[in-house]
């Protein structure tokens, strides 16, 4: 009987929300293939999910599934992380400023028009790195 109650509850919970597919894409930025996960309808407000260091966009997989009904979600991997290209450190400067500039170009290419929220998040990331003193 407990199993029936649990299964019934689980079934009701699944039917309350529309399931959205998480799509995997890449965009070329400065000769690098930048991988990203995308979910939710494009006509909804867009949220750019930027992962921490060291990590990847995989950390957002559960969140993508939960928020895709209400938002358009984009979670890229930085160069050298996850499924994005891993350029040789002799040819690519792995600094916060350089990664931020690659992500800025990513937002321009991944979206038809840059989204204000994504730009604000990127600006906040740059400001935080300036305060810490990374260059």
For the chain (135 residues), the mean pLDDT of every run of 10, in chain order, is 45 47 93 95 92 90 92 95 96 94 92 57 63 52
> Which residues are CB-contacts of 90 (< 8 A; sequence separation ≥ 6)?
none
Q: Which domains does the chain have, with CATH numbers?
A: 20-132 (3.40.50.1820)
Model pLDDT, residue 13 = 42
Spacing of C-alpha 52 from chain mean position: 11
* Distance set, CA 68 to CA 16, 18, 19, 82, 94 (Å): 13, 9, 8, 21, 32
Q: What is the pLDDT of residue 51?
A: 92
Give residue 1's pLDDT.
45
Number of C-alpha atoms within 13 angstroms, CB side, residue 85? 17
Q: What is the pLDDT of residue 121?
A: 61
- Name the residue with tokens 């916060």: 96
The structure's pTM equals 0.69
Instruction: Note the pLDDT of residue 95.
Output: 94
- Dihedrals φ, ψ of 58, to 5°? -60, -30
How many Å apart are CA 54 and CA 108, to the nearest integer? 24
- CA gap 96, 135 in Å, rounded: 7
């Amino acid at each position: 009987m407990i199993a029936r109650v649990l299964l019934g509850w689980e079934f009701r919970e699944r039917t309350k929300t529309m399931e959205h597919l998480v799509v995997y894409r890449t965009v070329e930025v400065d000769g690098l293939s930048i991988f990203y996960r995308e979910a939710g309808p494009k006509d909804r407000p867009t949220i750019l999910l930027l992962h921490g260091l060291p990590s990847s966009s995989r950390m957002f997989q559960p969140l993508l599934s939960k928020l895709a009904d209400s938002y358009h979600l984009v979670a890229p991997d930085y160069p050298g992380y996850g499924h994005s290209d891993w350029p040789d450190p002799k040819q690519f400067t792995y600094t916060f400023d350089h990664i931020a500039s690659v992500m800025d170009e990513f937002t321009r290419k991944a979206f038809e028009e840059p989204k204000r929220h994504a730009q604000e998040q990127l600006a906040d990331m740059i400001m935080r790195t300036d305060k810490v003193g990374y260059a």
